[in-house]
Structure 1
Amino acid sequence: MTRIAVVHGIGQTNREPVLLQQEFGEALKSCLLEAGRADLACRIHTPNPSARLARDSNLISVDLAYYADVFTTPNTQGAADPFIGLTSEQRDLAEELSMLWLYELAEDPAHSANAQAQRELSALTGAGREQQGIGKRAARTAVSSLSRVRWLATSGLWLTQRLFFRDLVEVVRYMTDEEIREQVSGRLVAVCDSDTKVLIAHSLGSVVAYDYLCRQEDSMPVPSLLITLGSPLGLRSVIYDRLSKRPPAFPEFVPRWVNVSDKNDLVATKSDISQLFPDVHGFGRSIESLVVNNGRRSHDAFRYLAHKSVGELVSSVL
């Protein structure tokens, strides 16, 4: 049986894993059809993740590494402070990331959120306040300032302020808590084996996939192709500088990596990340960049999977 492993991104806490896996399966069928590969699309199968079926060489199994439940903290749902239980380091990281994204929007005159982001920044760093760049004092209100940018809802990132806070917490906890990293990595270990030909990772899931692949040794299963969608791996101080592999590099045993981004995807602000992850193993590999247009929902995983070009990538190794 050929397998495709999928790692979801942020914001899936309230989703049923089986249903989410089925959605990814349907999306992959559609993208293979777009690529003219009906012969592969008809073989896509989404088994119940709790029951691995007997191997059928004709099927292409879509296996979801679901990890959102790892972030569920008892007795904090509905709390007035969305950052309850976070350390000062984690709060500062949330604030730094928010300020970084606010600056990204404010410095892009072509972006539809540019004007509002500039107003929020002006209010944040303006009259009576010392200019601090991404300093802690300014960043502490950057979270709420960014959450007020209306474009975030229409882009498919966060429909409400509460969802924005929740997902921001997921990012900072993953990047700062080694125990959480280990638990999440275990979910990916559980769905990858020697039959896994493609690993597709969206958003924070691309960080999860990168950490997982860098831990693999020669005897362990690795996919023939890594596809990252809407990846934040290029965010230097918040993500890149905190990756488990130091210094970051192209994963040793992965033959090919394609990074897919949308120019309006705030999470994937850097589309070409090849120079950030050099091939230090001498195989001459480089991360390939594919830029797509997802329309208004620039960060949506299923919009990324709707492109013919992505279907062609997937089909190339099946």
Structure 2
Amino acid sequence: MRPRLVFVHGVGGPRDALAAREEWLHALADGARAAGHSQRVVGLLAGTSVDVRFAYYGDLFPGNDAQGTASDAERSDAQALAELLLEAVDERLATAQDDQEARVLRRARAQLAPEGEQQGSGDVLRRALNAANTLLALPGLRTAGGWLSARMMVHRLGQVRTYLARRPVDGSGPGLDQRIRARVAEEFDPIGATVVVAHSLGTVVAFETLHEHPVKMPLLVTLGSPIGMRAAVRSRMRPQPLHVPPGVGAWLNFWDRDDFITGRPQLERYVAANAAAVLPVSRRIDSDGVWVHPATKYLTQPGVAGPVLEALEAVTAV
């Protein structure tokens, strides 16, 4: 039986799931070749050695359009969104590499949390948009290939908040988060082994899904994860206290210093071990270019792709 590889995407607009699967798969293949696994790549791309799935849930978000316009829910939850941005700014400010970066971050922080002022939700959203526009000057967030506007940035990051709000999409029925987890769980192999590669918001989704639907998972890989963001993300996740899902045999967490989404990236400090004493292992990578958050940037790294191919081969050999 072929092992199953499941990709779990993060924030973003509607996408062609089949095209996204191919994009991620070819990025992984490039990274695998760089890691010295060229022979394994043939079966991976052909689908003869690995059953590759792409768990798509982007269509479930309300108001998920290409322009990234603000929804009513986004306005009502503006404070939570501002908290997410503020926590990310504070984490980045603590390790600012130069005076110019520090100035950008301090300006964004002042826009997000002006001293001595009380704002309504509309004003908070406006301040979040202003701060996002300021932050687009940072390495890792510049507009080439990334978010094309502050509004799009806020809208996309707002998906993290929308998922964690756990509201029904239409006011009744299962919450949006439940629908998303159900969609992802459909792609897991209930009998054989599953290797999961999750990105951004997808790391939160995969974590919670694996607690609800435990499966045999020799390796969980998280890329650009926001799980370490205490107030905005970690404290709102389930189940609490956070611990590695049962069935996970190893967890590798990769982060890039210029990836604005990865506040407090050393997840082993915040997530307890499972019954098998498995903890996350966080590893820093350094991507080239001005837009480092996409999953494909991570997957082309040999340090990321190599362990994925090795885990799949180990399962095949059993």
TM-score w.r.t. length of structure 2: 0.83
Partner of 1:227 in structure 2? Answer: 221
Question: Is contact 2:111–2:128 with CA below 8 Å preserved after alignment?
Answer: no
The change in CA–CA distance for 1:26 and 1:106 in structure 2 (over 3 A counts) is same
Task: State yes or no: 1:118 paired with 2:106.
Answer: yes
Q: Provide Cα deviations, 1:121-168, integer angstroms capped at 9, x if missing partner.
A: 345556xx4178x99899555412321122223486522223213212
Question: Is contact 1:25–1:45 with CA below 8 Å preserved after alignment?
Answer: yes
Equivalent residue of 1:249, what SS? Answer: coil
Partner of 1:50 in structure 2? Answer: none
Question: Is contact 1:46–1:62 with CA below 8 Å preserved after alignment?
Answer: no
The change in CA–CA distance for 1:2 and 1:253 in structure 2 (over 3 A counts) is closer
Unaligned runs of 5+ in 1: 48-57
Partner of 2:185 in structure 1? Answer: 189
5 Å matches for 1:113-152? 113-122=101-110, 129-130=115-116, 140-148=125-133, 149=135, 150-151=137-138, 152=141
Task: State yes or no: 1:249 paired with 2:243.
Answer: yes
1:242 is matched by which residue type in structure 2?
R
1:164 is matched by which residue type in structure 2?
M
Partner of 1:22 in structure 2? Answer: 22
Task: State yes or no: 1:278 paired with 2:275.
Answer: no
5 Å matches for 1:31-70? 31-45=31-45, 58-70=48-60
Partner of 2:207 in structure 1? Answer: 210
Deviation at 1:211, TM superposition (A): 0.4
**Same amino acid, percent of matched pairs:** 24
Question: Is contact 1:44–1:60 with CA below 8 Å preserved after alignment?
Answer: yes
Task: State yes or no: 1:258 paired with 2:252.
Answer: yes
Unaligned runs of 5+ in 2: 168-174, 313-318
Partner of 2:161 in structure 1? Answer: 172
Partner of 2:72 in structure 1? Answer: 84
Counterpart CA distance in 1 for 2:154 and 2:18 is 25
Question: Is contact 2:75–2:122 with CA below 8 Å preserved after alignment?
Answer: no
Counterpart CA distance in 1 for 2:304 and 2:67 is 39
The change in CA–CA distance for 1:294 and 1:256 in structure 2 (over 3 A counts) is same
Deviation at 1:247, TM superposition (A): 1.1
1:145 is matched by which residue type in structure 2?
N
Counterpart CA distance in 2 for 1:82 and 1:46 is 41
Question: Is contact 1:225–1:257 with CA below 8 Å preserved after alignment?
Answer: yes
RMSD of the TM alignment (CA)? 2.8
Question: Is contact 2:224–2:293 with CA below 8 Å preserved after alignment?
Answer: yes
Larger helix proportion, structure 1 or 2? 2
Counterpart CA distance in 2 for 1:248 and 1:85 is 27
Alignment coverage as a number of residue pairs: 297
Moved more, 183-192 or 115-124: 115-124
2:36 is matched by which residue type in structure 1?
G
Equivalent residue of 1:43, what SS? Answer: helix
Equivalent residue of 1:259, what SS? Answer: strand
1:284 is matched by which residue type in structure 2?
A
The change in CA–CA distance for 1:138 and 1:25 in structure 2 (over 3 A counts) is same
TM-score w.r.t. length of structure 1: 0.83
The change in CA–CA distance for 1:234 and 1:254 in structure 2 (over 3 A counts) is same
Question: Is contact 1:233–1:240 with CA below 8 Å preserved after alignment?
Answer: yes
1:287 is matched by which residue type in structure 2?
P
Q: Provide Cα deviations, 1:173-217, integer angstroms capped at 9, x if missing partner.
A: 101125111111112111110344310000000000000111134
Counterpart CA distance in 2 for 1:154 and 1:136 is 27
The change in CA–CA distance for 1:187 and 1:140 in structure 2 (over 3 A counts) is same
Question: Is contact 2:112–2:128 with CA below 8 Å preserved after alignment?
Answer: no
Question: Is contact 1:233–1:239 with CA below 8 Å preserved after alignment?
Answer: yes
1:306 is matched by which residue type in structure 2?
T
Counterpart CA distance in 2 for 1:78 and 1:156 is 15
Counterpart CA distance in 1 for 2:49 and 2:83 is 45
For CA contacts below 8 A with separation 6 or more, give which structure has more relative contact order: 2
Question: Is contact 1:2–1:61 with CA below 8 Å preserved after alignment?
Answer: yes
